[in-house]
Chain A
Amino acid sequence: MIDKFREKFVEESLDNINDLEEALFLLEKDMHNSEIIERIFRAMHSLKGGGAMFGFNHLSEFTHHLETVFDLIRNDKLKVSNDIISMTFEAIDQIKHLLQIGDLTDAGDIANQQAFIKRIQEVSNQEGSTSTASVGGSNVEQIAESDGSKTFLISIKPNEDILRNGTNPFYLLDDLHAMGDAKVVAFAKDIPELTQFKPVTNYSQWQVVLNTSESINEIKDVFIFVEDECEIDLQELKVNNVINSDALVALIDKAVADRVLLTKEQIEAIGEAGSGKEDDKKDGKRKVQLKEHKISSIRVNSNKIDDLVNLVSELVTIQAQLNLYAEKDGNSDIVGLAENIQKLSRQLRDNAFEISLIPLQSELMRFQRLVRDLSKELDKEIDFIIEGGDIELDKNIIEHLTDPLLHIIRNSVDHGIEMADERIKNGKSPKGTIVFKAFYSGASVIVQVIDDGKGIDPEFIKSKAISKGLIDENVELSRKEIFDLVFLSGFSTKETVSDVSGRGVGMDVVKKKIGEIRGEVSLDSEVGKGTTLTLELPMTLSIIDGLLVKVSDNQYVIPIANIEKIHAIEDVSFGNTINHIVSIGEEQFPYIDVREVFETKNEDSGGKQLILVKFEDRKVGLLVDQVIGEYQTVVKPLGRYLKKQENISGATIMGDGSIALVMDTNRMIHNNASKKYRTKK
């Protein structure tokens, strides 16, 4: 049980840390913004409190010292400096570490931590800065005393400055509400006139009549973080459940009108009067003013979402079977039902997939951090600008994306952006810029990393590729083809392995990783102006809309997103079969005979159709036997033994239980249309 809570705490803390880092970045740009400082303080405060509660004592202790620093800053006793920010960044790493391993056991680690704390203390070493850490070790869980419900009268009088600490007293009331039936009475008699009213000052106090089966200790736990900021009075009442009695309502109404606090005796008197039965009929009217706290998002284990998506995928498959059966059967009732189920399962599918999408934002912090740390290390000044952080992608895609992107950004910082003096010499601003940009484009998401650095010379790439034996000396390559050379394995433009990006991962690995999630990478660059790296990614991995085609005995699925147009064979004239060129109307296109690529055995000629598919900036024709129709596809992997199969990216189970293979047109075209590259073995 406790482990589960700890897990949850770690998860939430990671969010908190994310927030903390984000706020720190903002603070770095705007060192006097009290709102940001407040945000940082709050995040630290929850880390500290939660840490102590869930047995992360070292974490709690450590954060306490850090919090002290920001408490001083908050109260204008200390100024934000670059040193403090850098130290805090370092401290965040330490906090992450502590979250991962729990309390330290290794003596060396403990010594390190102590040394770090010393450093923090030195920063905060202005007198009188020890704020109270009241959350010590007194959180031994007690077993509830009895399960019969009891009624309590709880009076809460927060200090005037409770809001300044980021505490929202309403949450306390919510927590109490969650424990059982409660009536809350607010007393706001101390509110001054508007002219004297200060928004950050608390003027209110509350009383809560709570009927709960929780123990008194559980109630006390609600106030664990605000003990020093509130006057809390907790009394157990010797009555039955009177919460819903009219007498209590009347009593409360009177108390509010008279502005006099309720007392224990008053309520106990109701109980004795014997009206403690449930007569909650007219509950509606006089609800004590308390805004309902709506939960707008919930946290779900990602495995559960994977399960959901899998189930929905199965459903879509079965639904296709049902459709097939309904058509065969011809019974109009069943056809109608099947259509309805199809509609529903489509909606369900879309919903389920939307759930599994997460915003790119969640990973951006790491990139921002990388740019910051690296530029400091390399002594370059770099602005990192993020556009479209709210773009959402399948979480499995994001997981695959992080490492390649880290590599790309590292490259930009290390090789792209020049040193300040060099930039000035070339008439550029001494400060480099890296733009991280994400946007939707059709069914794909485009992610770009754009730097304004020195760029890459295509001629240089070409000569390099020739010297490495990757291409033939006389080959004619388009500009795009030249830049594509960078992604070949065995190609690395940097002669010397630098400490930063030369970690054995080349661009070929980036391409491979992105390819694994059916994405494409391309590069464009202009000497002196900068380099742009573009990733084109699918939004989701497991379901695609496809076109079902027949080639020889097999059925194949071509992702519709790639398809430009379908032509009947009569419209097409095969001018030159040796070069594999067709002309349609007044245009010519290269084409691939899929039978040829697949080396199919039987060679009778069926009807033929040409499907024009988009490939990078061109269109290429695919010659298939027959187009069958549109088909919604749940893509399944072929397993590890067929991973090397390049022209097929997966398979799908058809309504009748047979299997259709999903064509990877991009790879097929790439492998067959670009024989200009001599593959290096």
Chain B
Amino acid sequence: MKDQITSLISFYVDKEVFAFDTLKVRNILEYGKMTWVPNTKDYVLGVMNLHGNIFPVADLRVMMETSKVENTADTSIIVVSNDGKTDSLIGIVVDGVKEVFDIDGLEIKESVYHGNSGIVNSFLGTIHKNEEFVHIIDLDETVLEIEK
């Protein structure tokens, strides 16, 4: 799985850097108004409308149980679909998008991330880049958790 990844989009959650496979990302939106949906889990903030498609928005910071959840000008919503279908669109709220980069020769090592990461507990690997560790989140596993 991780061998197929050629580029990543990295972002902050609290002070850590995480990443998704760029191929799964459909859009990046500013944090904005959304419609709250009753009787949902606490990390589901509501639903949004993108080009006529309605999709839920989940707060990754709440999912990973970070110490503080605070919205700033950098707070963004990364819209992903793990299988490419519109039915599977979901927005993920992060503390800020960092960059998109090609893997090009960088080594993806077995992830040793054992942070206090809530329901996000599957990682595809970790890359060391510019003195920073980037942990690649396994989206397939993560959305399965959300779907539960």
**Chain A 565-605 near chain B by CB (<8 Å), digits 1 or 0:** 00000000000000000000000000000000111100000
**Chain A 130-150 near chain B by CB (<8 Å), digits 1 or 0:** 000000000000000000000
Question: Which one of A103-111, A399-407, A434-442, A654-662 contacts B?
Answer: A654-662
Q: How many Å from the CB of A264 to the closest CB on chain B?
A: 64
Q: Are A598 and B39 in contact (CB under 8 A)?
A: yes
B7-66 at interface with A (beta carbon < 8 Å): 33-40, 44, 47-49, 52-56, 58
Q: Are B38 and A647 in contact (CB under 8 A)?
A: yes
- Contacts known (A638-B56, A640-B147, A641-B143); A653 close to B39, Cβ less than 8 A: no
A-B contact pairs, 12 of them (CB 8 A): A597-B39, A636-B53, A639-B88, A640-B87, A641-B146, A641-B147, A642-B37, A648-B39, A651-B54, A659-B48, A659-B49, A661-B35
Chain B residue total in the interface (Cβ 8 A)? 26
B58's nearest neighbour on chain A, judged by CB, is A641
- Contacts known (A639-B90, A657-B49); A645 close to B54, Cβ less than 8 A: no
Residue A228 is within 8 A (CB to CB) of chain B in the complex: no
Which A residues are in CB contact (< 8 Å) with B47? 638, 642, 651, 659, 661
**Chain A 618-643 near chain B by CB (<8 Å), digits 1 or 0:** 00000000000000000011111111
Which A residues are in CB contact (< 8 Å) with B88? 639-641
- Contacts known (A639-B56, A653-B52, A659-B49); A645 close to B37, Cβ less than 8 A: yes
Which A residues are in CB contact (< 8 Å) with B37? 638, 642, 645, 648, 661
Which B residues are in CB contact (< 8 Å) with A653? 49, 52, 54
Which A residues are in CB contact (< 8 Å) with B143? 641
**Chain A 650-672 near chain B by CB (<8 Å), digits 1 or 0:** 01010001111100000000000
**How far does the alpha carbon of A554 sit from the alpha carbon of B46 in the complex, in Å?**
11
Which A residues are in CB contact (< 8 Å) with B147? 640-641, 643
Range class of the A interface residue count: 20 to 34
- Contacts known (A641-B147, A642-B47); A554 close to B52, Cβ less than 8 A: no
Which A residues are in CB contact (< 8 Å) with B93? none
Which B residues are in CB contact (< 8 Å) with A638? 37, 47, 54, 56
Q: Are A599 and B39 in contact (CB under 8 A)?
A: yes
Which of these, B44, B52, B55, contacts A314 with CB under 8 Å?
B52
**Chain B 135-148 near chain A by CB (<8 Å), digits 1 or 0:** 00000000100110
B46's nearest neighbour on chain A, judged by CB, is A659
Residue B89 is within 8 A (CB to CB) of chain A in the complex: yes
A657's nearest neighbour on chain B, judged by CB, is B49
- Contacts known (A638-B47, A659-B49); A553 close to B54, Cβ less than 8 A: no
Interface residues of A (CB under 8 A from B): 314, 317, 553-554, 597-600, 636-643, 645-648, 651, 653, 657-661
**How far does the alpha carbon of A15 sit from the alpha carbon of B55 in the complex, in Å?**
40
Which B residues are in CB contact (< 8 Å) with A599? 38-39
Which A residues are in CB contact (< 8 Å) with B44? 641-642
Q: How many Å from the CB of B94 to the closest CB on chain A?
A: 17
Question: 16 more A-B contacts (CB under 8 A) besides A600-B38, A641-B88, A651-B35?
Answer: A599-B39, A636-B54, A638-B54, A639-B54, A639-B86, A639-B89, A640-B88, A641-B146, A641-B147, A648-B38, A653-B49, A653-B52, A658-B49, A659-B34, A659-B48, A659-B49
A313's nearest neighbour on chain B, judged by CB, is B52
**How far does the alpha carbon of A648 sit from the alpha carbon of B86 in the complex, in Å?**
19
Q: Are B54 and A659 in contact (CB under 8 A)?
A: yes
B90's nearest neighbour on chain A, judged by CB, is A641
Which B residues are in CB contact (< 8 Å) with A642? 37, 40, 44, 47, 56
Q: How many Å from the CB of A596 to the closest CB on chain B?
A: 10
**How far does the alpha carbon of A637 sit from the alpha carbon of B55 in the complex, in Å?**
9
* Total contacts A-B at CB 8 Å: 77
Which B residues are in CB contact (< 8 Å) with A636? 52-54
B143's nearest neighbour on chain A, judged by CB, is A641
Interface residues of B (CB under 8 A from A): 33-40, 44, 47-49, 52-56, 58, 86-90, 143, 146-147
Determine which residue in B48, B54, B56, B89 has the highest number of CB atoms from chain A within 10 A of its CB, and name it: B54
Q: Are A637 and B87 in contact (CB under 8 A)?
A: yes
**How far does the alpha carbon of A636 sit from the alpha carbon of B56 in the complex, in Å?**
13
Q: Are B36 and A637 in contact (CB under 8 A)?
A: no
Which A residues are in CB contact (< 8 Å) with B146? 641
Q: Are B87 and A553 in contact (CB under 8 A)?
A: no
**How far does the alpha carbon of A92 sit from the alpha carbon of B62 in the complex, in Å?**
59
Q: How many Å from the CB of B65 to the closest CB on chain A?
A: 19
Q: How many Å from the CB of A549 to the closest CB on chain B?
A: 13
Q: Are B56 and A598 in contact (CB under 8 A)?
A: no
Determine which residue in A314, A598, A641, A657 has the highest number of CB atoms from chain B within 10 A of its CB, and name it: A641
**How far does the alpha carbon of A597 sit from the alpha carbon of B47 in the complex, in Å?**
19
Which A residues are in CB contact (< 8 Å) with B55? 639
**How far does the alpha carbon of A653 sit from the alpha carbon of B35 in the complex, in Å?**
11
Top 3 closest pairs, chain A to chain B, by CB: A598-B38, A659-B35, A651-B54
- Contacts known (A653-B49, A657-B49, A659-B47); A641 close to B35, Cβ less than 8 A: no
Q: Are A554 and B39 in contact (CB under 8 A)?
A: no
**How far does the alpha carbon of A645 sit from the alpha carbon of B38 in the complex, in Å?**
8
Q: How many Å from the CB of B90 to the closest CB on chain A?
A: 6
Q: How many Å from the CB of A430 to the closest CB on chain B?
A: 51
Q: Are B36 and A553 in contact (CB under 8 A)?
A: yes
Which B residues are in CB contact (< 8 Å) with A600? 38
**How far does the alpha carbon of A657 sit from the alpha carbon of B32 in the complex, in Å?**
13
Determine which residue in A638, A648, A659 has the highest number of CB atoms from chain B within 10 A of its CB, and name it: A659
Q: Are A317 and B52 in contact (CB under 8 A)?
A: yes
Which B residues are in CB contact (< 8 Å) with A648? 37-39
Q: Are A641 and B39 in contact (CB under 8 A)?
A: no
**How far does the alpha carbon of A659 sit from the alpha carbon of B90 in the complex, in Å?**
16
Which B residues are in CB contact (< 8 Å) with A314? 52
**How far does the alpha carbon of A359 sit from the alpha carbon of B81 in the complex, in Å?**
36
Q: Are A647 and B39 in contact (CB under 8 A)?
A: yes
**How far does the alpha carbon of A597 sit from the alpha carbon of B37 in the complex, in Å?**
12
B48's nearest neighbour on chain A, judged by CB, is A659
A551's nearest neighbour on chain B, judged by CB, is B38
Which B residues are in CB contact (< 8 Å) with A553? 36
**How far does the alpha carbon of A141 sit from the alpha carbon of B139 in the complex, in Å?**
52
Which B residues are in CB contact (< 8 Å) with A646? 39
Q: How many Å from the CB of B17 to the closest CB on chain A?
A: 25
**How far does the alpha carbon of A651 sit from the alpha carbon of B55 in the complex, in Å?**
10
**How far does the alpha carbon of A648 sit from the alpha carbon of B36 in the complex, in Å?**
12
Which A residues are in CB contact (< 8 Å) with B49? 653, 657-659
B55's nearest neighbour on chain A, judged by CB, is A639
**How far does the alpha carbon of A528 sit from the alpha carbon of B124 in the complex, in Å?**
63
Q: How many Å from the CB of A309 to the closest CB on chain B?
A: 14
Which B residues are in CB contact (< 8 Å) with A641? 44, 56, 58, 88, 90, 143, 146-147
**How far does the alpha carbon of A525 sit from the alpha carbon of B49 in the complex, in Å?**
47
**How far does the alpha carbon of A651 sit from the alpha carbon of B48 in the complex, in Å?**
10
Q: How many Å from the CB of B84 to the closest CB on chain A?
A: 13
Q: Are A637 and B38 in contact (CB under 8 A)?
A: no
Q: How many Å from the CB of B5 to the closest CB on chain A?
A: 23
- Contacts known (A653-B49, A659-B47); A639 close to B36, Cβ less than 8 A: no
